[in-house]
Structure 1
């Protein structure tokens, strides 16, 4: 479920929900001492879908069938992998990809998707704020960082309300704290609203102490209300699978197989949400039986932020997903989420599953 990570782009830092992957440097996946066995170095934050596959033996089976070994380790900083030349695949949001290319000069290819941007704005129960436009200018809003989900709300604020929403300026005072601290900060009145991953506020949401603004919608459910290009599909992604261009061009067949592995895991999640939340409560930040039941119900409908398939659907889908970059170019240049007019346009490639 990837509760936090850090993306360090020179002076730009953020904490976001993430999945981080890393592979060997060079022209392709590395080879081990076992003949021609390819190795993918896989640096991964704790995730329920990965655990489902691992416990069921799916990963080992995939490795045997494809003569690939996945070496796992833990990282919260995918920038280091790319900048240091040691990583092949990472996971990042659509909004972050052009920033990464601009800051590092490394060309990337986004070839898969994993989960949607899901961080909603919360209010205290009884408060009248339904949208950002209802919150008095100058009010404090608790956020997790200057980019990531804040970048989404920056775009929405401008497009839907004509507001300047950013850390260090704009129409509100955005106060940065950890996701798991912000529900308490909101309840005690330290801020008028807070952007918090759902998992971090389960007890407060279950008890009715906090409520989701914008009619209970999550970011990916709101994107279509202001996006300049609409294809009728869900957008925008909080976690994509992104590779260096060098690795992708040399390993496109392996990229397809990699997504096929994740397709199996996603289908396992879709079929066993209640069992997964119960078996891996640590991934959903739930402890009590009541919290487990609440989270299971929350992700059992339209709020499920996992994609149905990790394969990018079509060029039309890609165009709609990338449309957010044009909005970012029209933001205040002082905004951490502003994109210059000549910012890179990263490649997104729609692959096709085998057979």
Structure 2
């Protein structure tokens, strides 16, 4: 686990310096008397549903009704933000939480789901690859980093193809670059395949220059094909709402209200997909009318990666967290490997009023 430790420690140190803050547990507002406005420190990647909540006035209404202020930090690396001790709630993938606890000792509580793991494996048009097993060993594959969506593809590669897929070793050479750079890298031959968020490759997908491997399926549509005891529901989450155990145990009612807020947001998304894409094209990396329409069509069917229900239920939790057992079967040098005695993070099925 040296790869994960070095990444986590170095990035957390850099983030702490950039933010100019230490690892204090609670703000003065949170420690104030009952009735004082509470503050939630929340780290989240740029997101259209959050903008819907803010611009519609629903966020301000919720904050006023609950006497709460949400202080947000925009980051694509919520793992590092949390590991540095800077937040109360972050969004984090299911497979990341036990790695976080294993490497940092931070105890967490996952109390809501938000969207599913959506990063597909892409190939150039005409290339004879449908799965990772079709790609010659030793080939370069473009990825965004050693964890997050790479963890999913690591597990799929092991379970479906008995392949060792990881940064810094294994059966392929995984080349790390930004999501929005990797479509170009793939097209010019810098790699044989690339794991890229859909919205980073919409122009190339629309033009047919790039194609989604695995018969066009996204990760959350593929998981049931190798999950040990699939319940047929959608798994695995790319973003859950995860709090420190300290914060959650001190604010269970506020956590339930936080779930209510985000349920309002995803309900708005489901009702206003086309309008949302058109209103916030920057979140979908689309500019031309053709790309906007392609994006709308892409998320209008089974590819919609936003959940229907934020709150968790016990059956969903039991099936979702099976992925941790699959992580224990990975190569010990993999950043997503879990030891047999790895922590089992808490997942809470709460019932908002």
**TM-score in same-fold range (> 0.5):** yes
SS in 2 for 1:299: helix
Report SS of the residue matched to 1:255: helix
Aligned to 1:321: 320
CA–CA separation in structure 2 for the residues paired with 1:82 and 1:276: 29
* SS, match of residue 142 in structure 2: strand
* Partner Cα separation in structure 2 for residue 163 and residue 113 of structure 1: 29
Cα drift, residue 37 of structure 1: 1.9
> For residue 185 of structure 2, what is the aligned residue in structure 1?
185
CA offsets per residue over residues 124-145 of structure 1, 9 Å max, x none? 1111101111111111111111
Q: How does 1:158-173 map to 2 (within 5 A)?
A: 158-173=158-173
The residue that corresponds to 1:110 in the other structure is: 110
The 5-angstrom pairing of residues 130-279 of structure 1 reads 130-279=130-279
Q: CA deviation at 1:79?
A: 4.7
What is the DSSP-based 3-state SS (H/G/I as helix, E as strand, rest coil) of the residue aligned with 2:9? coil
Query: Which 4+ runs in 1 deviate beyond 4 A?
Result: 31-35
| 1:204–1:210 contact (8 Å) kept in structure 2 | yes
Superposed displacement of residue 181, structure 1: 1.0
Q: Which position in structure 1 is the counterpart of 2:121? A: 121
Q: CA deviation at 1:73?
A: 3.7
Question: Which runs of 5 or more structure 2 residues have no equivalent in the other structure?
Answer: 1-5, 13-22
CA offset at residue 74 of structure 1? Answer: 3.2
In 2, Cα distance between equivalents of 1:54 and 1:84: 27
Is 1:89–1:242's contact at 8 Å kept on the other side of the alignment? yes
SS in 2 for 1:353: coil
Contact 1:220/1:237 (8 A) holds in 2: yes
Structure 2 counterpart SS, 1:141: strand
User: Using a 3 Å threshold, how does the CA distance of structure 1 residues 163 and 76 change in structure 2: closer, same or farther?
Assistant: closer
Matched, 1:47 2:68: no
1:29 and 1:251 in contact (8 A); partners too:
no
Secondary structure of the corresponding residue to residue 41 of structure 2: strand
Indicate the SS of the match to 1:159: helix
The residue that corresponds to 2:15 in the other structure is: none
Return 183-192 or 84-93, whichever deviates more. Answer: 84-93
Root mean square deviation of aligned Cα: 2.2
Q: 1:152 to 1:44 in 2, by over 3 A?
A: closer
Q: Larger % of helix: which?
A: 2
CA 1:32–1:278: 2 relative to 1, 3 Å: farther
How many pairs were matched up?
338
How far has the Cα of 1:28 moved from its partner? Answer: 10
Q: Which runs of 5+ in 1 are unaligned?
A: 1-6, 14-22
